[in-house]
Structure 1
Amino acid sequence: MLQSPGVLFTVLAFVLVIGPLVFVHEMGHYLAGRWFGVHAEAFSIGFGREVAGFTDKRGTRWKFGWLPLGGYVRFAGDMNPASQPDAAWLALPPEQRARTFQAKPVWQRAIIVAAGPVVNFLLAMLILGGFAVAYGDARTPATVGVVEQGSAAAAAGLRPGDRVVALNGREVEYFEDLASFAKIHPGERVRVDFVRDGAAGSTEAVLGTRRERDRFGNEYRFGRLGVGPSRPVIVPVGLAEAPVVAVRRTGEIVQLMVETLGQIISGRRPISELGGPLQIAKVSGEQLALGPEAFVFLLALVSINLGFINLLPVPMLDGGHLLFYAVEAVRRRPLEPQVQEWAFRGGLAALLALMVLVTFNDLGSFGLWRNLADLIG
């Protein structure tokens, strides 16, 4: 097991994460388009100048770009980022025009666009379902077995035997739900609803904050209630139940993502926690160094993130296209080209600004700004 991944190892791990996930995402678009009879002109992993590629018998150019930070499928008739047809499209012969993206009804275009994120979620569910079959599913009852002395739980008056049923009104079914909630709310005051000796009770607790440093030097801040179960319960999972567990786990991960994003937007969590490609590369190298199980689990997490982010209703992302298609379905006609054009320009500007921000954060997490400050000082 590697103690500290080097640069080449980290680059390899990053390629092993981003390459397959981008391929799966774009393959979702490609297969949906092919199902509806849309001709794909190009299928690219990476952006920029082509490094290598080939053309198949259907006339699709499969290629690799020199910048491996994404990919795309370019369908016939998809003339620009707003998917607006131009005069060249109108001049196509009818039989050729029928195989273009813009010739398809809005519901088919929506399915083609949504297929990419959907396949990312399906891949994550496949991985999480496999883990459930291999290692079982944690379903420890949310009953307090141990109360740590001096903890938030002790100050709130919780006792062994209390069964926690809700935190801030959110239902708690298993102890793992309790731990996940506490983990992302460090230092916050929460209402704890519990059952003691058959009677319902409620109290408030200010969650403690615990800082941990892993073997790679990364520091994490966690919330902590200060309770533990009597004993963990791991339930075996069969193949028939695995999809159910996978869907539940995926939903829990998405819920955590939405909540932490809301905390950043509201200022309860520092914006410096937003990471970008450099941070993903760093984590990829670390998880690959930890072993195949950790790395495959990271694949599931990044796949969920990729699917979730692409569904955000931001122009230039799949979610932005879906938003325009929803408007088109209601209006029975597309938005005016000028409106779409300005929306996509705004979306591009927002994404570029976000990339600058997360890159700034990534470089800060590597200690660049601290080292520069030390040199200047």
Structure 2
Amino acid sequence: MEFLLSPYALFSEYLIPFLFVLTIVVFFHELGHFAVARWCNVKVDAFSIGFGKELIGWNDSKGTRWKISLIPLGGYVKFAGDENAASVPDRERIAQMSAEERKTAFVAKPVWQRAAIVAAGPIANFILAIAIFASIYMAHGKPELLPYVSGIVEDSAAASADIKEGDLILSINSKPISYFDDLKWTVRRNPHEPLILGLDRDGQRVETTVTPVYVTDQNTLGIEFKEPRIGVEISRSESNQVVRRLGPVEAVGAGVERTYKIIYDTIAFIGEMFSGIQSPTQLGGPVQIAQVSGTVAQFGLIELIHLAGFLSVSIGFINLLPIPVLDGGHLVFYAAEAVRGKPLSERVQEIGFQIGICLVLAMMVFATWNDIWRLVSL
């Protein structure tokens, strides 16, 4: 993002796409919590897109305050008996509730209902992502690259394995492949593992063994990352592309597969970060999301909606991390309650929430610092 952009350009090219993507993802996450809470007869005090001061709001017939708030970096659903947006129980208010009010309080519900309400947010994100991917594949097709080798990176694993320009990759470890994504996915999952490639070379079948190695590259924002590669180049020319328009069942299956791969890559990145392969400086916050949204928006609405699907998976996964105040942390507490037959003590939960808040704030500050550092380094 350049500082020389006018305020109008910043607003139209970055802020609007960012808010469009984030609002879709947050709304469906909170809608998941809300829908299951209503199904479990839990009173919902507030449904907010954003935090802080209310900008626009209205009450529905069941007493829920629907609102759009000042800080558009998330949202929340606040249930009866909650102290705050993180669903920390308000012990004082709960103690003052009448028997009738307790019937609709979140904290008074059976543990399985509370777990279902909490899990519904991330699940809604995954369902949204699958629906987005499937809809795109049905309406516009799924673009694929054929695995014809158009070039070999010098001094790469492919060069050492004697793979040649013009080869067609037919199989990996005896498993047939049809498209480049099949190759890329297998290589991503098997760093430093020998892979047997079946090749079509001038009509003759040839086999060779190649071992993926981590290669440093940069994304469109100039952020360095490492990725297992073998060093083959695949042509992106029109003659090497096919667009498969999928039927409903196949499209949903492809949407599930795409969602699974995003989750897998996220888990792999976390593991690689802790093992020192990836740098934590790759983590980004709201500014990076805005940059990516603005860049993707230049390619059209479909690409921006596709980004919403990607972010929906990411936010659903992050919320399932076992950190108190996140959905995953609540689920850990409920699992302990189910095993023990009673909730953890108020003191233990309070300490857990305090630790969780510190961890979340630390991650936010670190990600924002990375954003700022990248901006000033431009």
TM-score normalised to structure 2 length: 0.84
Figure out how many residues of one structure are paired with residues of the other and give that number. Answer: 358
Higher deviation after alignment, 150-159 or 64-73:
150-159
Identical positions, percent: 38
Q: Secondary structure of the residue that 2:298 maps to in structure 1?
A: helix
Gaps of 5+ in 1: 372-377
Q: 1:234 to 1:8 in 2, by over 3 A?
A: closer
Q: State the 1:157 CA deviation.
A: 2.8
Corresponding residue number in structure 2 for 1:63: 67
Taking the TM superposition and a 5 Å limit, the aligned residue runs for 1:214-253 are 214=220, 218=222, 223=227, 224-227=229-232, 231-253=240-262
Per the alignment, in what secondary structure is the counterpart of residue 290 of structure 1?
coil
| Aligned CA-pair RMSD | 3.0
Point out where structure 2 has 5 or more consecutive residues left out of the alignment: none
C-alpha distance 33-139 of structure 1, shift in aligned 2 (>3 A): same
Which of 84, 101, 109 pairs up with 1:96? 101
Q: Paired residue for 2:137, among 126, 132, 135? A: 132
Q: Which segment is superposed worse, 224-233 or 345-354? A: 224-233
| 1:204 lines up with 2:207 in the alignment | no
The letter for the 1-side match of 2:137 is: A
Residues 68-126 of structure 1 show CA distances to partners (whole Å, capped at 9, x for unaligned) of 11111111122354643524323322222101101211111111111111111111111
Identify the residue that residue 9 of structure 2 maps to in structure 1.
6
Q: Which residue of the other structure, out of 336, 359, 362, is the alignment partner of 2:371?
A: 362
> Are 2:269 and 1:269 aligned?
no
Please list the CA deviations of residues 180-215 of structure 1 after superposition, one character each: whole Å capped at 9, or x if unmatched: 465799xx6442233468897644354555556x5x
> Which range moves more in the overlay, 274-283 or 76-85?
76-85
2:19 is the counterpart of 1:15? yes
Alignment map for 1:1-377 (pairs within 5 Å): 6-9=9-12, 10-79=14-83, 81=86, 83-84=88-89, 86-137=91-142, 145-146=149-150, 148=152, 150=154, 151-158=156-163, 160=167, 163-165=170-172, 174-180=179-185, 189-195=192-198, 202-206=209-213, 208-211=215-218, 214=220, 218=222, 223=227, 224-227=229-232, 231-366=240-375, 368=376, 370=377
Contact 1:138 1:176 in 2 (8 A): no
Amino acid at match of 2:140: Y
Q: 121-130 vs 175-184, which deviates more?
A: 175-184
The separation in 2 between residues aligned to 1:55 and 1:119, in whole angstroms, is: 24
In 2: Cα distance, 1:166 partner to 1:267 partner:
29
Query: Aligned with 1:241: secondary structure?
Result: helix
- 1-side partners of 2:183 and 2:207: how far apart? 17
Tell me, in whole angstroms, the C-alpha distance in 2 between the residues paired with 1:269 and 1:356: 19
Q: What is the deviation of 1:354?
A: 0.8
What SS is found at the alignment partner of 1:59?
coil
SS at match of 2:248: coil
Aligned equivalents of 1:260, 1:87: Cα separation in 2 = 42
Say if 1:152 and 1:211 are closer, same or farther in 2 by CA, change over 3 A. Answer: farther
CA separation of 1:166/1:256 partners in 2, compared to 1, >3 Å: closer, same or farther? farther
Contact 2:55 2:69 survives alignment (8 Å): yes
Q: Contact 1:45 / 1:70 at 8 angstroms: preserved in 2?
A: yes
